Amino acid sequence: MTRLVLVRHGRTAWNAQGRAQGHTDIGLDEVGRAQAEVLAPYVVAMAPSTLWSSDLTRARQTATVLAEATGLALRTDERLREFDSGERSGLTVAEFAEQYPAEHAAWKAGHITGNVPGAESPDQVVARMVPALREIWDATPEGETTVLVSHGACLKVSLAAFLGWPEEVGDTLRGLDNCGWAVLEQDALDRPIRLASYNETAQPGVHSLDAATESPLG
């Protein structure tokens, strides 16, 4: 069985405050570091042969814990970054609603960035993320496992596009929890890649965030 395990990074202070992070380079907080440590034995049990990460600090710090636990070298790729959240970066949902009411309404209606000035569109994110996922998948030897640490919103939209799902199907996925993971697998080269599991967690009580405060662009 060939597998690609997609992991969201651990918690940051901005996640806890419900602030959109985008490309703002925020590191893990104490909870996030603990989440990565709790996750590490689960990743060791997956016996990965390769470890990839977004180049943003919160993802690299999470992946570094996994690298130390597995003994793998860590590779980074800037294409695995979160959405650039543009002028929404650093804002809570309440601040976003107050400062950008029209864009907030669009976000509430289902547009992932709300068309905020300077923000990447889902199509732009898919255009950089899916080729990266394809290259990483193709480089994974048959029967082996690759682990990749990235970000919630970009993983959600790119996973759906990678699998060829219609947009309305991808929209039914919720974002991954901090240090939650999804598993893509293929049991033979002539078989389709499938989503085997989504939002698995090591200890849900440790890293699930209240839906009212979790940032969708973190």
For the chain, domains (ranges, CATH) are 2-207 (3.40.50.1240)
What is residue 211's predicted lDDT score, i.e. its pLDDT? 35
**Is the pLDDT at 206 greater than 90, yes or no?**
no
Answer yes or no: 144 catalytic: no
Query: What would the mean pLDDT of 161-172 be, rounded to a whole number?
Result: 90
Residue-wise pLDDT tens digits, 66-101: 999 999 999 999 999 999 999 999 999 999 999 999
Share of the chain above pLDDT 70, in %: 93
Q: Using alpha carbons, list the distances in angstroms from residue 139 to 2, 162, 187.
A: 11, 15, 16
Query: What would the mean pLDDT of 97-123 be, rounded to a whole number?
Result: 88
Pairing label, strands 74-76, 194-200: unpaired
Residue-wise pLDDT tens digits, 27-60: 999 999 999 999 999 999 999 999 999 999 999 9
Catalytic, out of 37, 68, 82, 120: 82
Question: Of the ranges 61-70, 83-92, 127-136, 203-212, which one carries the lowest mean pLDDT score?
Answer: 203-212
Query: What would the mean pLDDT of 104-111 be, rounded to a whole number?
Result: 85
How far apart, in whole angstroms, are the C-alpha atoms of residue 32 and residue 45? Answer: 21
Q: Residue 194: exposed, middle, or buried by beta-carbon count in 10 A (0-12, 13-18, 19+)?
A: exposed
Both structure tokens of 207: 């890293």
Q: What is the mean pLDDT of the chain?
A: 91
**Is the pLDDT at 205 greater than 70, yes or no?**
no
**Is the pLDDT at 213 greater than 70, yes or no?**
no
Catalytic, out of 9, 104, 151, 207: 9
What is residue 130's predicted lDDT score, i.e. its pLDDT? 98
Angle, CA 154 vertex, CA 12 and CA 201 arms, to 5°: 55
What is residue 216's predicted lDDT score, i.e. its pLDDT? 55
Answer yes or no: 111 catalytic: no
Residue-wise pLDDT tens digits, 170-195: 888 888 999 999 999 999 877 899 99
